[in-house]
C-alpha cells in the first residue's frame, strides 16, 4: 500500500492529534481493545468517531455517526463518498495535483456513484453518506482505520484501494495525525510479513521476483533463491487439489479450523503425503499430522521480537521454560536445516535478528540494545541514531514528489455467496472480546464473557420468522455444509443479517459454512459474507 | 498544513516549598514541585495514569493565604506560592487521615499506607475497639478476580480506571452515601451479571489489595504466595496486533499474575481480558 | 457508549413517568444512529418522576432511565442510592417523614410506627413538623402543619426584603406583584446597562447570604468577564441547614421577586439560562415558582426577548432529593448534571468552571432579593444601611424556645439580644447561631452585634441566619448528639476526614454521653475537629465540628466533670 506494507500512523497520533477517526469494517472495541483506548481519549477531547459496519457493534455504539451498510458494499460506499467530496468541491486540489497520479481515471470511475445510487446498493441513507464524506474531507487530521471487515472479502484488496483513494483525495496521509491504519489482528502478523513469511516477499520488504533483492540475500545465505513467487495459503490448497502440492510444514497455524470451507480443507490436508505441524498445542491440524514438533509460546517462552500494528518492533522475553520436549522454534528450524543439509549453526534469536538487520535497511538501526533502551522502535529505522519513523509517506508533502501515490479505481463487486430463496440470510462472521481466533489460546481460561460464545446471533425478528426462540437451538445450513448451534437474539443486528464467530470450533465449526472465495492478490477468503438458512430445532 | 506537530513552549513557574525555591513548568501540580525538590509526599488516591480526585487528603500541604490545607496532587502551581509540607497542621492532618483509615479499613496489604502509619506515628487504636469498620465478606463471584471491600479506602481509582480515564466500561461506581458509600455494580449484582469485561484495569490501580487476581487470592489463602520468589519479566502480549507490553509475574515457573507498565505508551498500565488473564494456555503442561 | 442494560423492564406507569421527563422514544431506523451523549442532566428528574409515580425507584425504573439517557446502570444506581428521598426498596405510596432535628426536637417531635425520621424540613417556626409524600397518578407532597404563625413583623415600616410579604402580597399574581412595585428594578437595570448594574452591586458591598458571605459584585464581575460560553445563573435554594427557613418563606410568599432578581442578575452577567435548585421538601415553593415562571413567560418577562430589551433569559426549576451537601455549590452542579452530589475541588471556582463546566453565577435566594433594592436605589444608598463591613438588612430564622418564632428582618449591627427580645425568647442557657454548622453561644455572649465581622471576631458565624434558643429545660446533650448525627448522615463520603471523621466524632460523643469513655475523647474530638476543618474537601466537613466544639468549650457540654447538661 503506497509502497510500504504497514499502517501509516502511530497510536499517539490517534490519541493526541486526530480530530476524526473513521473505523471502517473494524470492531476495535472488542478486537483491539487497548488501541480503542487511544481512540476514546481522542473522543473525550472532542474528536469525532464514525463507524461503518453492518452491525451496530460496541465500537459503533461510541460513534457520532454509524453507517450500517449491507455486507460487501464497501466499494459502493467509498466511491460515493469520493464522488461527493469531488462534487462538493472539497478535494485537496493542491495535494492531488502535486502528490498523486491517476485522478482523472478515478473521477470517472466514481461518477456513477451518486448518493442515491449508493443508498440503493448499501442500504445507508443518502444524507448519512453525505455526512461521512463532508466530515472526512473537512477534518483537519483524519485517521481511516480498518480490519477484517474490509479485507476478508473476495475483493479485499480492492476494498483497501477504495479507502486509500479517499485519503489521497483529501490529503489525509503522510503527515502527523492523519493517516491510514490497518489494525493487525495478530500479535506478529505485521512482523511475519515484514520478515518475509509471504510467498512474494523477502525479509525486510524485498521482492522475490526482483533480481537485485534476491542477489543481496543470495550473497549472505550462499544459496540460489528460486526467482518465482511461491504460493499463498489459498494457492497451496488449490495446488493440493490438483495434486501438485503433496507435503506441508505448518508452523503456528490451525487451518483445519481457521480456513473457510472446512470440509474441503480437512479433505485436502488429509490427502497429503506428509504433514508436519509445529505448534504449542495438539490442534485439530496437528491431529492430522504425520509429525508434530512441539514448539514454544511466543510472549513467554522465547526471546525475540514482534512487530505491532504501528510498525513498532518490541522485544519479547522468555519468562518460562517450554514444557516437556517442546523446543524453541528457531532451534527446531536450524535442527531441521542441519538434517536437510544446510547448516545454519545454532543462532540465538539476537543473532538471527542481527543478520536481518544487515539485510534490511528498514530495521538496520534496531539493535536489541536500542530496542531495550527505547522500549520499541517503529520502522523504518535506518541507523543507530535514528529514533524510528513515527508516520510514513511524509515525502508526499515535499515540494516536488518524485514517486507520486496512485489512485486505483476499483469496481464494486458484491459477495460471491449470493442470497436466494434457499439461502436467504446473510451470515457475517467476526470476533469477540474474550476470545481469539480458533480459541486455542483463549479457551484456556474461564470467564463469564465466554458464556453463550458459540451461538448464532439473530435479529429478534428473524428469530421469530424462523421459529427459533432466544436461547433455542437451530441448524444452520450453507451451500457447503451445516452445523447445529445455540441461538441468541441480538438487537444490534437488523433483520436479514446474522452473526457467528469462529472461536469455539469444537462446539460449533463455523467455517464448515464459510466460502473459500479468495482475493487472488491477498489469498484471504470471504469470511464476511456467507449465505445461509436457519432451521429451528426442537 | 504542517507535516509535523509543534506545540507551544511551556512557561516556567517558580514557587517556594519548605523554604526552597523550586521551578516547574506551568500546568504542574504542587506534588510535582515537591518531587522536583526531593520532598516525599504521601499519596493514596493519586495515580500516575489517573485524573486526580483528591479524596484521601493524605497529600495535603499548607499554602500561604489559604484558610484550609490544599491537596498537592491536584493543585496547580502558581508563581509565588509558598508551601509548607512539614508544618504542625500538615502533620496532624496526615496522621489523622491515616488513623481514620486504619481504624476502619484493613490496610494490611497496602505497603504505602503501612509506611505512612509509621512515618506519622499514627495511633488508630485511639478510637477504641468498637469503632465502626467496613469489614465484610470477600466477594468471590468469578474465576478471575476477587473483591475484598474490607480493604477499600474509597480512593475512586477503580471507578476512574473503569470509567473515562481508561476502560470506559462503567461497570462499577460508588453507591450509597457517607460512611456507607461503597464500590458497587448496579444494584450490587454479581460481576458476571454486570457490565464488567474482566480487563483487570481496576486491579492494576487498586492500592490496597481490595481487588486481586483470584490466583493471588487463592495462593495467599493456602500460604503459597511468596513475592520474594517472584520474577517479573516484561514481554509483548501474544494475542492481537496492538503490541501491549505485559509484565509476567512468575513464581516457581508459573505465571501467577499479569500487569503492564504504567509508563508504557501503548497501554498506560491497561490490558484487555486476554492480555490480563489469558495466560493459562501457557500453563497447561502435559 | 457500549452500555449493557441487563436490568428488568419498567412497568407501564414507570415508563410513562420517565418518558414524560425525557420525551418519547424515537424510532431508530436500524441503519444510521447518531450518538447523543448530553442528556444525563435529566437523570435525577427521571428518578424523581418514577418515585413519585409508584412510591419507589425499582430496578425497572433504574434500567429504563439508564437506557433512555445513555447512562451506565452502575452510575444510575450510584446516583439513586445517594439521595435520602429516593427509595430503592419497595414502599407504600404514602410516607410520612417526621422531622427530628433541632427545633422540632425541642418541640417534642415523635416518630410514629411506619413513619421515617427526617432531618430539618425547613418548617422550624411551626415545629414539630413533618412532610407527607403521596405517590401515584397525581403525586404530591404536603408540608405539615400546612400553615404556621404569621410573619412576626407584618405591617412594620422599614421592612425591605420582607416588604411585600409584610404587606399581604398575593404570591400567585404577577399583577399584584407589580402593584406592589414589582419590576421597577428591572426597568432601572435596563437603564443602567449590564456594566452599570454590576457597578451598583459592587458599590453596595452586598455579601452573599447563603453562609459564605462572598462579595456579590466581585462574583458577577468575574463571570461577566469570562470568554467561555454560555454563562449560567444558578439560584441555590437548597436551604437544608437545620433551623433555616428564610428562603422558603421568600419563595412561597414572593416568588416573582426571585424571578425579577434573577433576570437582572442574568442581564448583568450575560446568562441566557437560569436554574433554581430547590430542595425536594419545599413543594409549595415549587408550585409558586413554576406559577411565577409561567406568568412571567406569558407576559414576555422571560423568554427570547425579555421585556423587549433584546436579551434572552429563561429559568428552569430543578428539584433535589434529600441531600444537605447539595447546598454546596459544586455539589449542586453535580446534582443538576445528573451525578452524585459530591463537591468538586476548588480551584477552579464556579465563576470560571461551574455548571456544565461553564462560567456560573451562584447566588442564594436572599442575596438575589437584595439585588432588587440595590438596583432600585443605587449601591451607595443601599450601603448606608447596616455597618461598614455588613451592608443592608439580614433575615434571621428564630425558632426553639421563643414566643414568636418565624422570619425576622433586621439591619446589620442589631444585637443578638435585641433580636431575641423581639422574638420573645425565653431565658436561654444557650443560643445556637448559624445552624448546625454554626456555634452555641453562652448567655453572656448574647450582646454580639449581628454582623459578619463581629461574628468572625467572636469565633462564631451568622451562617444562614439561624437562631435557635435553648432554655433551661433544653437537653443540650441531645442537641449536640443530633448535630453530630446530622453531619455523619449527610456526609457525601468522598473524603476521609469527613466520611470517617464524622463517624468517629459521633462515636466519641456517645461514649461521653453514656459515660463508657476511653479517657481520651476530648483530645480525639479536638484532633477530629482539626483534620475536618483543615483537610475536608468542602464546607460540610470543614464545619461539622464547629457546634460540637463550641458546646464543649463554651458550655462544657459533655465535658467529663463539666457543667450539667
Cβ-based interface (< 8 Å): residues of C facing A: 1-3, 29-35
Q: At A362, is the pLDDT very low, low, confident or very high (cuts 50, 70, 90)?
A: very high
Is residue A464 pLDDT above 80, yes or no? yes
- For residue A212, the model assigns a pLDDT of 95
Confirm if A241 and A529 have CB atoms less than 8 A apart. no
The answer, yes or no, to whether residue C55 has pLDDT greater than 80, is: yes
C421 and C548 housed in the same domain = no
If asked whether residues C451 and C490 sit together in one domain, one would say no
Choose from A64, A432, A451, A496 for mutation: most chain C CBs within 10 A. A64
C208 with C334, same domain: the answer is yes
Count structural domains, chain C: 5
C-alpha grid cell, residue A134: 463532508
Can you give the pLDDT at residue B82?
98
Q: Which residues of B touch A310 (CB under 8 A)?
A: 243
Q: What is the DSSP letter of C432?
A: E
What are the pLDDT digits (tens) for A392-409?
999 999 999 999 999 999
What is the pLDDT at residue A441?
A: 84
Same domain? C108 vs C237: no
pLDDT tens-place string over residues B63-104: 999 999 999 999 999 999 999 999 999 999 999 999 999 999
Residue C288 lies in a domain: yes
Predicted pLDDT at A444? 80
Cβ of A374 under 8 Å from any chain B Cβ? Answer: no
- Quick one: closest CA in A to B246, which residue? A299
Q: Note which residues in 261-320 of chain A have CB less than 8 A from chain B.
A: 280-281, 297-301, 306-310, 312, 314-320
Q: Tell whether C321 and C241 lie within a shared domain.
A: yes
From chain C, the residues in CB contact with A494 under 8 A are: 30-31
**Band of residue C277 on the pLDDT scale cut at 50, 70, 90:** very high
Query: Are C28 and C138 members of one domain?
Result: no
Closest CB from A63, A68, A123 relative to C35:
A63
8 Å CB contact of B243 and A306: yes
Q: Which of residues 99-118 of B touch C (CB under 8 A)?
A: 100-101, 103-104
The rounded distance, in Å, linking the Cα atoms of B139 and B142 is 9
Is there a single domain that holds both residue C340 and residue C301? yes
Residues in a beta bridge with B173: B184
pLDDT digit string, tens, across residues A485-538: 999 999 899 999 999 998 998 889 899 899 989 888 888 889 999 999 999 996
> What domains appear along chain B, each with residue ranges and CATH number?
11-133 (3.10.20.740), 145-283 (2.20.25.90)
pLDDT recorded at residue B286 = 45
The CATH number assigned to the domain holding C136 equals 3.40.30.10
Question: Domain A11-182, CATH 3.40.50.300 — does that match?
Answer: no
Given C316, C348, C382, the domain boundary residue is C382
* Residue C565, pLDDT score: 44
Q: What percent of chain C has pLDDT over 70?
A: 97
- Residue C375 belongs to domain with CATH number: 3.40.50.11540
Q: What is the mean pLDDT of residues B13-26?
A: 96
A12 at the B interface (CB within 8 A)? yes
| C489 in B contact zone (CB under 8 Å) | yes
Confidence of residue C5 (pLDDT cuts 50, 70, 90): confident
Spatial separation of the C-alpha atoms in residues C467 and C400, rounded to whole Å? 8
| B75 and chain C in contact, CB less than 8 A | yes
| pLDDT score at B7 | 65
Count of CA atoms in the C-beta half-sphere (13 A) of A289: 22
Is it the case that residue B4 has pLDDT exceeding 80? no
Please compute the mean of the pLDDT values over residues A52-63 and round it to a whole number.
Answer: 95
- C-alpha dihedral sign at B104, B106, B107, B110: negative
Provide the H-helix boundaries in A123-231. 126-138, 148-151, 156-170, 189-194, 211-221
Q: CA nearest C36 in A: which residue?
A: A64
Q: Is A425 helix (H, G, I), strand (E, B) or coil?
A: strand
ipTM: 0.95
> In percent, how much of chain B has pLDDT > 70?
97
CB B36 within 8 A of CB C514: no
d(CA C162, CA C409): 7
Which residues on neighbouring strands pair with residue B246, listed in sequence order? B235
Question: Measured between CA atoms, how close is B235 to chain A, in angstroms?
Answer: 4
The tens digit of pLDDT for each residue in C320-375 reads 999 999 999 999 999 999 999 999 999 999 999 999 999 999 999 999 999 999 99
Chain A contact residues (CB < 8 Å to C): 29, 49, 56, 58-68, 123-125, 128, 494
- Please indicate, yes or no, whether residues C104 and C177 belong to a single structural domain of this protein: no
Q: Are residues A300 and B286, on separate chains, in Cβ contact within 8 Å?
A: no
Tell me: do C63 and C100 sit in the same domain: no
- Asked if C77's CB is within 8 angstroms of B173's CB, the reply is yes
Instruction: Tell me the three cell numbers of residue C14.
Output: 414507570
Choosing among B213, B243, B254, which should be mutated to test the A contact, i.e. which has the most A CBs within 10 A?
Answer: B243
Q: SS3 helix, strand, coil % of chain C, rounded to 5?
A: 45, 15, 40
- The Cα–Cα gap between A524 and A157 comes to 9
For residues C344 and C406, state if they share a domain. no
**B60 touches C at CB < 8 Å:** yes
Interface test with B, best of A447, A451, A452 (most B CBs within 10 A): A447
DSSP C171-218: TT-HHHHHHTTTTHHHHHHHHHHHHHHHHHHHHHT-B-SSSS--BHHH
Q: How confident is the model at residue B3 (pLDDT cuts 50, 70, 90)?
A: very low
Cβ distance of B284 and A444 shorter than 8 Å: yes
Q: What is the pLDDT confidence band of residue C564, given thresholds at 50, 70 and 90?
A: very low
* Distance (Å) of CA A525 to CA A234, A261, C237: 8, 9, 66
Looking at chain A, the whole-number percentage of residues with pLDDT higher than 90 is 87
A22 beta partners: A50, A144
pTM of the model: 0.94
Per-residue H/E/C for B101-132: HHHHCCCCCCHHHHHHHHHCCCCHHHHCCCCC
Q: Is residue C277 part of a domain?
A: yes
Q: Residue C431 in contact with residue C212, Cβ under 8 Å?
A: no
**Domain layout of chain A by residue ranges:** 11-182, 189-378, 425-537
B172 to B163, B204, B229, C342: CA distances (angstroms): 8, 15, 34, 17
Q: Is C199 domain-assigned?
A: yes
Inter-chain touch C31–A124, beta carbons under 8 Å: yes
Output the pLDDT for position A505. Answer: 86
What average pLDDT does the segment C137-158 reach? 95
The answer to whether C404 and C429 are in contact (CB under 8 A) is no
The C-alpha of C77 sits at a distance from chain B's nearest C-alpha, in angstroms, of: 5
A425-537: CATH topology: Barwin-like endoglucanases (2.40.40)
Q: Which residue segment(s) compose the domain that C62 sits in?
A: 12-80
Pairing state of beta strands A65-67 and A100-101? unpaired
**A446, closest residue in chain B (CA to CA):** B143
pLDDT at C36 over 80: no
Query: What number does CATH give the domain A189-378?
Result: 3.40.50.740
Contact B240 A317 (CB under 8 A): no
Instruction: State whether C276 and C219 are in the same domain.
Output: yes
Same domain, C205 and C277: yes
In a domain, C387, yes or no: no
DSSP string, C218-238: HHHHHHHH--SS-EEEEEEE-
Contact A65 C2 (CB under 8 A): no
* Distance separating alpha carbons of residues C228 and C357, to the nearest angstrom: 10
Kindly list the residues from chain C whose CB atom is less than 8 angstroms away from the CB atom of residue B73: none
Say how far residue A136 (Cα) sits from the centre of its chain. Answer: 23
State the smallest CA–CA distance between residue A68 and chain C in angstroms.
5
pLDDT (average), residues A349-375:
96
- CA-nearest of C336, C379, C374, C331 to C356 is C336
pLDDT at residue B2, rounded to an integer: 39
Note whether A445 contacts B275, CB cutoff 8 Å: no
> Above 60 in pLDDT, residue B173?
yes
Give the one of C1, C82, C496 whose C-beta lies nearest to B100's C-beta: C496
* Rounded Cα distance, B275 and C538, in Å: 41
Amino acid at each position: 500500500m503506497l509502497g510500504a506494507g504497514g499502517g501509516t500512523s502511530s497510536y499517539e497520533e490517534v490519541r493526541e492529534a486526530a480530530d476524526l477517526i473513521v473505523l471502517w469494517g473494524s470492531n476495535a472495541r472488542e478486537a483491539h481493545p487497548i488501541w480503542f483506548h487511544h481512540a476514546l481519549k481522542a473522543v473525550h477531547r472532542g474528536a469525532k468517531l464514525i463507524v461503518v459496519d453492518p452491525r451496530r457493534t460496541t465500537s459503533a455504539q461510541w460513534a457520532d455517526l454509524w453507517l450500517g451498510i449491507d455486507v460487501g458494499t464497501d466499494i459502493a460506499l467509498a466511491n460515493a463518498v469520493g464522488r461527493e467530496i469531488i462534487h462538493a468541491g472539497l478535494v485537496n486540489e493542491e495535494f492531488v495535483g502535486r502528490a498523486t497520479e491517476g485522478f482523472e481515471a478515478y473521477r470517472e470511475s466514481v461518477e456513477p456513484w451518486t448518493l442515491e445510487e449508493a443508498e440503493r446498493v448499501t442500504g445507508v441513507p443518502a444524507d448519512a453518506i453525505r455526512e461521512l464524506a463532508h466530515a472526512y474531507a473537512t477534518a483537519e487530521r483524519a485517521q481511516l482505520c480498518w480490519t477484517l471487515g474490509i479485507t476478508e472479502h473476495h475483493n479485499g484488496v480492492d476494498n483497501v484501494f477504495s479507502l486509500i483513494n479517499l485519503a489521497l483525495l483529501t490529503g489525509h496521509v503522510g503527515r502527523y495525525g492523519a493517516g491510514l491504519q490497518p489494525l493487525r489482528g495478530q500479535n506478529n502478523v505485521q512482523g511475519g510479513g515484514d520478515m518475509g513469511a509471504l510467498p512474494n516477499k523477502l525479509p525486510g520488504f524485498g521482492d522475490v521476483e526482483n533480481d537485485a533483492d534476491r542477489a543481496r540475500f543470495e550473497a549472505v545465505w550462499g544459496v540460489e533463491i528460486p526467482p518465482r513467487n511461491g504460493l499463498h495459503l489459498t494457492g497451496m490448497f488449490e495446488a493440493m487439489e490438483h495434486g501438485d502440492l503433496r507435503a506441508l510444514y505448518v508452523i503456528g497455524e490451525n487451518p483445519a479450523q481457521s480456513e473457510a470451507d472446512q470440509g474441503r480443507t480437512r479433505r485436502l490436508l488429509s490427502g497429503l503425503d506428509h504433514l508436519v505441524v509445529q505448534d504449542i498445542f495438539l490442534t485439530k491440524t496437528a491431529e492430522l499430522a504425520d509429525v508434530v514438533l512441539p514448539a514454544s509460546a511466543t510472549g513467554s517462552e522465547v526471546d525475540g521480537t514482534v512487530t505491532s500494528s504501528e510498525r513498532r518492533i518490541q522485544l519479547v522475553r522468555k519468562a518460562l521454560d517450554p514444557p516437556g520436549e517442546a523446543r524453541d522454534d528457531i532451534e527446531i528450524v536450524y535442527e531441521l536445516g542441519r538434517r536437510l543439509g544446510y547448516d545454519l549453526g545454532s543462532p540465538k534469536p539476537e543473532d538471527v535478528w542481527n543478520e536481518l538487520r544487515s539485510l534490511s535497511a528498514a530495521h538496520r538501526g534496531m539493535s536489541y540494545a536500542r530496542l531495550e533502551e527505547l522500549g520499541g522502535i517503529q520502522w523504518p529505522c535506518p541507523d543507530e541514531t535514528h529514533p524510528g519513523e513515527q508516520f510514513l509517506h511524509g515525502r508526499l508533502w515535499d515540494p516536488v514528489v518524485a514517486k507520486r501515490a496512485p489512485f486505483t479505481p476499483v469496481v464494486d463487486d458484491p459477495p460471491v455467496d449470493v442470497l436466494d430463496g434457499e439461502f436467504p440470510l446473510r451470515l457475517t462472521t467476526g470476533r469477540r472480546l474474550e476470545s481469539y481466533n480458533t480459541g486455542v489460546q483463549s479457551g484456556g481460561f474461564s470467564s463469564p464473557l465466554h458464556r453463550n460464545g458459540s451461538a448464532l446471533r439473530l435479529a429478534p425478528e428473524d428469530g421469530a420468522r424462523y421459529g427459533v426462540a432466544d436461547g433455542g437451538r437451530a441448524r444452520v445450513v450453507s451451500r457447503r455444509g451445516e452445523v447445529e448451534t445455540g441461538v441468541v437474539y441480538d438487537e444490534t443486528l437488523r433483520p436479514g443479517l446474522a452473526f457467528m464467530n469462529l472461536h469455539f470450533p469444537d462446539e460449533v465449526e463455523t467455517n464448515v459454512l464459510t466460502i473459500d472465495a479468495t482475493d487472488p492478490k491477498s489469498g484471504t477468503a470471504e469470511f464476511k459474507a456467507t449465505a445461509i438458512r436457519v432451521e429451528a430445532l426442537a | 498544513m504542517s507535516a509535523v506537530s509543534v506545540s507551544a513552549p511551556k512557561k516556567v513557574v517558580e514557587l517556594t516549598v519548605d523554604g526552597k525555591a523550586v521551578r516547574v513548568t506551568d500546568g504542574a501540580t504542587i506534588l510535582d514541585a515537591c518531587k522536583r525538590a526531593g520532598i516525599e509526599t504521601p499519596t493514596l488516591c493519586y495515580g500516575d495514569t489517573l485524573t486526580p480526585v483528591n479524596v484521601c487528603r493524605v497529600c495535603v500541604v499548607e499554602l500561604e493565604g489559604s484558610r484550609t490545607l490544599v491537596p498537592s496532587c491536584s493543585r496547580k502551581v502558581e508563581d509565588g506560592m509558598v508551601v509548607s509540607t512539614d508544618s504542625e497542621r500538615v502533620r496532624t492532618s496526615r496522621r489523622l487521615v491515616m488513623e481514620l483509615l486504619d481504624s476502619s479499613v484493613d490496610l494490611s496489604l497496602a505497603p504505602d499506607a503501612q509506611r505512612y502509619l509509621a512515618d506519622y506515628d499514627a495511633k488508630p487504636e485511639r478510637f477504641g475497639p468498637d469503632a465502626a469498620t467496613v469489614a465484610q465478606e470477600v466477594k468471590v463471584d468469578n474465576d478471575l478476580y476477587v473483591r475484598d471491600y474490607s480493604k477499600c479506602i474509597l480512593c475512586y481509582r477503580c471507578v476512574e480506571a473503569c470509567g473515562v480515564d481508561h476502560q470506559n466500561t462503567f461497570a462499577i461506581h460508588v453507591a450509597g452515601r457517607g460512611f456507607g458509600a461503597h464500590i458497587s455494580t448496579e444494584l450490587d449484582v454479581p460481576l458476571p451479571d454486570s457490565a464488567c469485561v474482566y480487563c483487570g484495569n481496576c486491579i492494576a490501580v487498586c492500592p490496597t489489595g481490595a481487588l486481586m487476581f483470584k490466583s493471588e487470592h487463592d495462593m495467599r489463602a493456602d500460604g503459597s504466595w511468596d513475592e520474594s520468589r517472584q520474577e517479573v519479566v516484561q514481554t509483548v502480549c501474544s494475542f492481537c496486533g496492538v503490541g501491549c507490553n505485559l509484565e509476567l509475574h512468575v513464581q516457581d515457573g508459573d505465571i501467577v499474575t499479569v500487569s503492564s507498565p504504567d509508563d508504557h505508551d501503548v497501554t498506560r498500565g491497561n490490558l484487555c481480558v486476554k492480555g490480563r488473564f489469558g495466560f493459562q494456555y501457557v500453563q497447561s503442561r502435559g | 457508549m457500549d452500555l449493557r442494560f441487563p436490568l428488568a423492564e419498567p412497568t407501564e406507569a414507570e415508563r410513562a413517568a420517565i418518558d414524560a421527563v425525557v420525551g418519547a422514544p424515537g424510532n431508530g431506523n436500524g441503519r444510521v444512529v447518531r450518538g447523543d451523549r448530553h442528556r444525563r442532566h435529566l437523570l435525577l428528574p427521571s428518578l424523581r418522576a418514577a418515585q413519585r409515580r409508584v412510591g419507589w425507584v425499582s430496578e425497572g425504573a433504574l434500567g429504563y432511565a439508564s437506557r433512555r439517557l445513555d447512562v451506565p446502570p452502575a452510575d444510575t444506581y450510584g446516583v439513586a442510592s445517594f439521595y435520602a428521598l429516593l427509595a430503592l426498596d419497595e414502599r407504600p405510596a404514602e410516607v410520612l417523614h417526621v422531622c427530628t432535628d433541632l427545633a422540632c426536637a425541642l418541640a417534642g417531635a415523635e416518630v410514629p410506627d411506619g413513619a421515617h425520621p427526617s432531618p430539618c424540613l425547613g418548617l422550624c417556626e411551626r415545629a414539630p413538623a413533618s412532610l407527607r409524600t403521596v405517590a401515584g397518578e397525581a403525586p404530591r407532597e404536603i408540608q405539615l402543619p400546612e400553615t404556621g404563625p404569621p410573619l412576626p413583623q407584618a405591617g412594620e415600616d422599614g421592612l425591605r426584603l420582607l416588604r411585600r410579604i409584610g404587606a399581604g402580597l398575593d404570591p400567585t399574581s404577577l399583577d399584584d406583584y407589580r402593584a406592589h412595585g414589582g419590576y421597577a428594578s428591572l426597568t432601572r437595570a435596563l437603564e443602567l446597562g449590564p456594566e452599570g448594574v454590576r457597578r451598583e452591586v459592587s458599590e453596595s458591598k452586598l455579601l452573599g447570604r447563603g453562609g459564605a458571605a462572598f462579595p456579590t459584585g466581585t462574583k458577577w464581575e468575574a463571570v461577566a468577564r469570562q470568554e467561555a460560553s454560555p454563562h449560567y445563573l444558578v439560584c441555590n435554594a437548597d436551604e437544608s441547614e437545620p433551623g433555616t427557613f428564610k428562603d422558603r418563606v421568600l419563595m412561597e410568599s414572593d416568588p416573582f421577586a426571585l424571578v425579577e432578581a434573577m433576570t437582572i442578575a442574568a442581564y448583568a452577567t450575560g446568562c441566557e439560562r437560569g436554574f433554581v435548585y430547590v430542595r425536594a421538601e419545599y413543594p409549595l415553593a415549587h408550585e409558586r415558582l413554576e406559577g411565577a415562571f409561567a406568568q412571567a413567560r406569558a407576559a414576555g418577562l422571560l423568554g427570547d426577548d425579555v421585556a423587549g430589551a433584546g436579551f434572552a433569559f429563561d429559568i428552569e426549576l430543578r428539584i433535589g432529593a434529600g441531600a444537605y451537601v447539595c447546598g454546596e455549590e459544586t455539589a449542586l452542579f453535580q446534582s443538576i448534571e445528573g451525578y452524585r452530589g459530591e463537591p468538586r475541588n476548588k480551584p477552579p471556582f464556579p465563576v470560571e468552571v461551574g455548571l456544565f463546566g461553564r462560567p456560573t453565577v451562584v447566588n442564594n435566594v436572599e442575596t438575589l432579593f437584595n439585588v432588587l433594592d440595590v438596583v432600585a436605589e443605587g449601591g451607595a444608598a443601599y450601603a448606608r444601611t447596616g455597618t461598614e463591613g455588613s451592608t443592608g438588612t439580614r433575615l434571621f430564622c428564630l425558632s426553639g424556645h421563643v414566643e414568636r418564632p418565624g422570619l425576622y428582618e433586621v439591619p446589620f449591627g442589631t444585637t443578638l439580644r435585641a433580636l431575641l427580645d423581639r422574638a420573645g425568647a425565653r431565658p436561654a442557657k444557650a443560643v445556637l447561631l448559624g445552624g448546625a454548622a454554626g456555634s452555641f453561644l453562652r448567655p453572656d455572649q448574647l450582646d454580639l452585634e449581628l454582623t459578619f465581622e463581629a461574628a468572625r471576631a467572636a469565633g462564631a458565624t451568622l451562617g444562614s441566619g439561624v437562631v435557635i434558643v435553648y432554655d433551661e429545660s433544653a437537653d443540650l446533650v441531645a442537641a449536640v448528639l443530633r448535630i453530630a448525627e446530622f453531619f455523619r448522615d449527610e456526609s457525601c463520603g468522598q473524603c476521609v476526614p469527613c466520611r470517617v471523621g464524622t463517624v468517629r466524632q459521633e462515636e466519641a460523643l456517645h461514649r461521653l454521653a453514656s459515660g463508657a469513655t476511653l479517657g481520651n475523647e476530648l483530645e480525639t474530638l479536638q484532633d477530629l475537629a482539626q483534620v475536618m476543618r483543615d483537610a475536608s474537601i468542602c464546607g460540610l466537613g470543614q464545619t461539622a465540628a464547629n457546634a460540637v466544639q463550641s458546646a464543649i468549650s463554651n458550655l462544657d457540654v459533655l465535658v467529663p466533670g463539666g457543667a450539667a447538661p
